[in-house]
Amino acid sequence: MQLLDRQIDKLSEMTAGALKKHQEAVVRLAKVPGFGAESAQQMIAEVGVEAEAFASTGEFASWAGVCPGSNVSAEKNHSSRSAKGNRYVRRILAEAAQAAVKKKGSHFQHVFRRFLPKLGWNGAIWVVAHRLARLVWKILHQSISYVEQGQDTTPMARKRRAQKLAQALRKLGYRVTLAEMHVSPMPGDAGFPVRSAA
């Protein structure tokens, strides 16, 4: 186990070294609830720094295999199972969704709770994974940053999250400086991306 842990750490460091010139994209993606430095690196390694191969959020979500299926016959939907998609990206999104719904007060936790009674645990998780996929494309393709506006998020909770993320990025060899950004929330929006300061 110790050997495997050392090998994993070494591979993570090599990935960070290869992506150092794209550090800004890694940091922007790692800020999303459910993601972290390593999952952000894995996602960028799979889809590219700008996800330029995909023309839209829907195309990316479909390729990743997190779009609800539609098997309709005689006006009855017989199945809403997703296509298999890219198994690596699908796994990253599923793990990120599982983590995002546990983040107290986050937008994705509210989404999960809203769909849980109707779709059950697995269905609600895949709704969150689908939303994360669409957000990943926007963050990478449009160079925007995610700002959490969940009901229960406090300045202290945001600060703790930022410090934890900065520590994880520094461990991988990135140079990180924390600076507070003042963003005016959009009325009625629980979690929304904003264009990052370039």
Spell out the per-residue pLDDT of the chain, length 198, in tens: 999 999 988 888 888 888 888 889 999 999 999 999 889 999 999 999 999 999 999 999 999 999 875 444 445 544 445 567 789 999 999 999 999 999 888 889 999 999 999 999 999 999 999 999 999 999 999 999 998 776 555 677 778 878 888 888 888 888 888 777 655 444 434 444 444 443
Domain spans, the chain: 2-195
Burial of 60 (0-12, 13-18, 19+ CB in 10 A): buried
Of 111, 64, 120, 51, the residue nearest 92 (C-alpha)? 64
| Alpha-carbon gap, residue 107 to 26, rounded angstroms | 21
This prediction's pTM:
0.70
Distance CA 21, CA 52 (A): 17
Distance of alpha carbon 117 from the chain centroid: 24
